[in-house]
Structure 1
Amino acid sequence: MATGVSICSNALLMLGAQTINDFADQLNLDRAKLCANLYPTVRDDMLRSHPWNCAIKRAVLAPDAVAPAFGYTHSFELPADFMRVLEVGTNGSQIDYLVEGRTIQADTTVLELRYVFRNEVENTWDAHLVKLVTLAMAAALAYPVTQSSALQQSFEQKLEMTLKRARAVDGQEDPPQTLGDERLLRARFGGGW
């Protein structure tokens, strides 16, 4: 079962370093503090980098009491675990929107949001994502732990290669994307296709 600590420990093992038991491990305090500092940033960066199926949520948002000063009629507060917009719509159709700070501005009274969320429950992650975050932690820890920039570069290259493969596999689980409104295409080009 993957946890933040196990991911960091496996990254340390890849570097030939002593593992940690938790983020406050008194026996390996330097490495534990280093992992505790780097892990949230590395995790969030990897989650935000791709719409991983294990980190997607849907929400229906109600407008804030105060409307934007101009531009759009309503403002919607983003969920606390929000990381990246995937889709914004109402009743299944895309709408015009703008993300500003921790809000979405739009001309609608109800906003349907599909988004990448900060999934902090690592045991719900896909195996590829666990491996990627482990490699990313190894790359982030390589220089501070070993003082080897060559080792750091090596892990960064492994991470890039593995990232391409993992994105492809994760994307193959999704249905094919359509190009726009099928009814509009049928009306424009005829219904015989």
Structure 2
Amino acid sequence: MALTALALCSCALLKLGAAPIASFEEGTAEAEVAANLYPSTRDALLSVHPWGFATGQLRLPRLAASPVADYDHAFQLPADFLRGISTGGVPYRIAERRLHASTDEIVLTYIFRPAEADFPPFFDQALIARLAAEFCTPITESTARAQLLFKLADDEMRRARLIDAQQETAQALDRFPLVEARG
């Protein structure tokens, strides 16, 4: 079942023993905390790992204006860009929301912000656990409880990363010098 931003926040609030929210604008402390902490927490969690569901490739459009120094061309980053992963071996730098490189054409592999409906269940659970930890201190004023929730969120994140990593073919080792040295 695909969850919305509101449903993800409500699940996190329920984990705290707080009331779920019906709207981010309802005027309660829970709604204010959720509205302010959700976007940055979601983006941070998406950015820390190259999730298969949030990784894309795109040929970037070259901009007319060149960078001031170091590289020959500037390219427009996508609107949903969170973090760059690779340009296929081409040296680059990301500065001022543009990618700079000395090539005429570039394909960027990057982390993007998918819609909440596209989050897989394992990521939903990691995000809910992290949101509960983030919401804990402002709502309950219990730092000890928040520390426990952060530990549980880290465990849930490890589990989600493991599941995500199992959704692609493992890379084979074509050549391994230590084995070759044994003869």
The normalised TM-score by structure 2 is 0.89
Aligned length: 174
Residue from 120, 124, 132 that aligns with 1:130? 124
Residue from 75, 91, 97 that aligns with 1:96? 91
Structure 2 CA distance, aligned partners of 1:39 and 1:70? 37
Shift of 1:178: 6.8
Consecutive unaligned residues in structure 1, runs of 5 or more: 186-193
Please tell me whether residue 80 in structure 1 is matched to residue 88 in structure 2: no
CA RMSD of aligned residues (A): 1.6
Structure 2 CA distance, aligned partners of 1:124 and 1:87? 23
Shift of 1:25: 2.2
Partner residue in 2 for 1:155: 149
Shift of 1:13: 0.6
Please tell me whether residue 118 in structure 1 is matched to residue 119 in structure 2: no
Shift of 1:75: 0.9
Deviations 1:122-179 (A, max 9, x none): 1211111101110111001111111111110111000111111211110111233478
Partner residue in 1 for 2:47: 48
Deviations 1:78-136 (A, max 9, x none): 111100112213xxxx21111112111111111101110012x2121111110111011
Partner residue in 2 for 1:188: none
Please tell me whether residue 145 in structure 1 is matched to residue 145 in structure 2: no
Deviations 1:34-83 (A, max 9, x none): 10000001000000011111111221112210111221111112111100
Are the counterparts in 1 of residues 71 and 102 from structure 2 also a CA contact under 8 Å?
A: yes
Structure 1 CA distance, aligned partners of 2:49 and 2:34? 23
Partner residue in 1 for 2:104: 109
Deviations 1:15-46 (A, max 9, x none): 111110111125xx221111000000100000
Alignment of 1:151-190 (within 5 A): 151-177=145-171
> CA 1:177–1:96 in 2, change beyond 3 Å: closer, same or farther?
farther
Partner residue in 2 for 1:189: none
> CA 1:9–1:144 in 2, change beyond 3 Å: closer, same or farther?
same
> CA 1:177–1:156 in 2, change beyond 3 Å: closer, same or farther?
same
> CA 1:104–1:70 in 2, change beyond 3 Å: closer, same or farther?
same
The normalised TM-score by structure 1 is 0.85
Structure 2 CA distance, aligned partners of 1:140 and 1:104? 32
Are the counterparts in 1 of residues 74 and 100 from structure 2 also a CA contact under 8 Å?
A: yes
> CA 1:177–1:66 in 2, change beyond 3 Å: closer, same or farther?
farther
Consecutive unaligned residues in structure 2, runs of 5 or more: 176-183
Partner residue in 1 for 2:32: 33
